[in-house]
Structure 1
Amino acid sequence: MLLAAGGLALAGAVLAGSLPDGTDGHRKAGKHAVAEPADEHGVGTVAERETCDDGRDAAESYPAERVEGSAVEEIQDRGQLIVGIDQNSYLWGYRTPDTGEIVGFDIDLVEAIAEDLLDTPDPDIVFRAIPTSERINALQDGAVDMVVRAMSITCERWEHVAFSTAYFETGQQLLAPRNSPIDGFDASMAGQRVCSAEGSTAAELLARESNGADLVTAPNHLDCLVQVQLGEADALMTDAALGAGHVAQDPSMELIGEPLTEESYGVAFNAEATDLVAWVNAVLEDYREGGAQSRWTAAAEARLEGYLYGENEPPPSPPEPLYRN
């Protein structure tokens, strides 16, 4: 497997790069490391689960089918899968400090997809690290075959790219130092500098409802964490799933309140690569299958236990796939 950095600076190397030891991305969690789940209606929810103008759930995708169309054939003829990832998201996609290997929940999924597409247990994968704001451009320009980068499925993004069925569910949440005056998504944010990644759903949410905060943006959510550590921002907003990784990296931080939205992560593709979307949806069907013995559960236990759910507890179930008629 190769990593093409694509010009991305490692912001985490400043302060947030002190990842826990070990190559499996797993360690014991502190008492604030597990994100609180939203209740049935999402406590403090700003946006309910998104329904698009045509009445579809944003997470609906093309039916699962291994079809050898042009996008699939191009990858198979090349003998190599090129994937846009994040190399700075602890738990999801990050470079281990001792070996330099890229690991995480997203990376485990990439490996399963590549094994199936290329029909080999040792597939040739090129990882291209791309900033949040460049994910859609990378797909439209053909720089990558797909993006597996904790990318939330939204109706607006469907206008530019296509998505697989959901492989994880999360929501936006504030993250701040433990001594922060911010105690929720409310007036306590007024006058505070809140950072979000450019082009992220967090940035969109804050633009709609800032609660008087001074909004700051950065190329990636980890850059926002560094800004908080350097005193250049007072808090950040990101997916709760990513925020749990930040707490694991920096125990002086904590997740504030509960998730504000209901969102799903999906694999993203060029909008015209519908055959590839359908193929990956078929891979995801197999990835989820098997309950406690599934590859999805194995990845959750290896990467997320003690952070997104308690130690020695069963992991959450994978989201049920939704398909377009």
Structure 2
Amino acid sequence: MVINCIEKNIPFAFIRLPNNKHIYFIKEDNKGIRSYSFVSFDTTKKYSFQFTEFIELKDLRINNKYVLPLTRKENTKVISENNYLKLLRKTINYIENKQTEKIVISREKWIDKDSIDPINSFSYLCEKYPNSFCHLSYWNEKEIWLGATPEVLGSYENSQFTTMALAGTLPDNNSAQWEQKEINEQKYVTDYIYEKIKKYVPSLSLKGPETLHLGHVKHLITYLSVHLKNTTQLSELIHSLHPTPAVCGIPLESSRNYILKNEGYNRDFYAGYIGLETPDFDKYFVNLRCARLYNNGALLFVGGGITAQSNPQKEWTETELKAKFIGESL
């Protein structure tokens, strides 16, 4: 099954939906009525394939029958801690001068590894993070992505659309208490999403904010839900919501322009979104807690929301914590 896909260069993925124990294998079939897709942060790049069925897998590790070929990455240079701190200080100064309210700054982190076992890493993520969307996505021999994202951009089932405002990050321990910086950051995201949805429907329900525990870190989260009349509204809403302030900033355009001008690297599919569309449901996940895999290591992507109250050293530490999500699985 997997070997045949690799030999014929057929895209495929292993996926596990949030709060669901079942692991599925899906592969490209142009006659299929379901689809799986990746959209980049800047929406200029998209991979997608149609598929026929969800093939449930009971055990991924039997006799190592799923072996994925990985290519080598030659240039592994990424931003240093010192230069990242300089960028954060520059960003805080930009915000303090009233250019914007919040900007999400991210970076790449390279982890050297003599050998990578994508299947074992994916299995680890499924076990460790049951309320995240876990995936191992093979687009071609040079683009193999691994991830466990906790953030839903949108979910549509039985005419009900749900999404979440996820922002604010602290170490997941009792001594770390929410401060005004994190509370404000999360409220920015909630208010933004609320106003976006209001353009499509007159009323919606909110639940939160509450704390979402994710092992190494915890976040503030608010759930938003609304009744949608049709899937045309769904498509428009998803395009309207991306990118949210949780991965970009407020105001949207000035934050995005700042990111593209100053971050210094291409986010690619990081902070873009993953789509899973079927006759029964449509689900879209923000592509966070992810990595691109190579045979000599993995390129991880991490970031955080910067406001006038941000402390650069704490923000660096936050990204290091987030890197553990994927790093510990390798």
Q: TM-score, normalised by structure 2?
A: 0.26
Larger relative contact order (CA 8 Å, sep ≥ 6): 1
Question: 1 or 2, which has the higher strand percentage?
Answer: 2
Q: TM-score, normalised by structure 1?
A: 0.26
